[in-house]
Structure 1
Amino acid sequence: MNINKSIGCEVTTCKYHAKDQQYCSLDNIMVVQHHNNAQTVEATDCGSFENDNK
């Protein structure tokens, strides 16, 4: 598995989590917003998340 040390991640349930280290394995991610004018961390998410259905 490739590890992208430019993208830290602690979401171990994500398909793209590097598993043995707290990084993402994707080359890039898409950050998405839930509101037209995102003002808080809670108003955004990693749109590249996919559940790792183990």
Structure 2
Amino acid sequence: MNRNNSIGCTVCECKFHDNNKNFCTLERINVVKHTIAADTVECTDCGSFQKK
């Protein structure tokens, strides 16, 4: 898969991480929240994550 230069990623445990650079190989990611109102970065995650 080719890296997507628009999506930076440092999660090397993800199936979609570009192992050569800190980018995602997906065309699009899904960002999800853990609370009703996301008011901090800790309230959100990449919902597209899949373990290698």
Compute the TM-score of the two structures, normalised by the length of structure 2.
0.97
Question: Structure 2: 5+ residue runs without aligned partners?
Answer: none
Alignment RMSD = 0.5
Equivalent residue number for residue 39 of structure 2: 39
Rounded to whole Å, the distance in 2 between the matches of 1:35 and 1:29 is 19
Q: Displaced runs of 4+ in structure 1, greater than 3 A?
A: none
| Equivalenced residues, count | 52
How far is 1:36 from its partner? Answer: 0.8
- Deviations for 1:11-52, whole angstroms, at most 9, x for unmatched residues? 000000011110000000000000010110000000000000
Compute the TM-score of the two structures, normalised by the length of structure 1.
0.93
Rounded to whole Å, the distance in 2 between the matches of 1:34 and 1:49 is 15
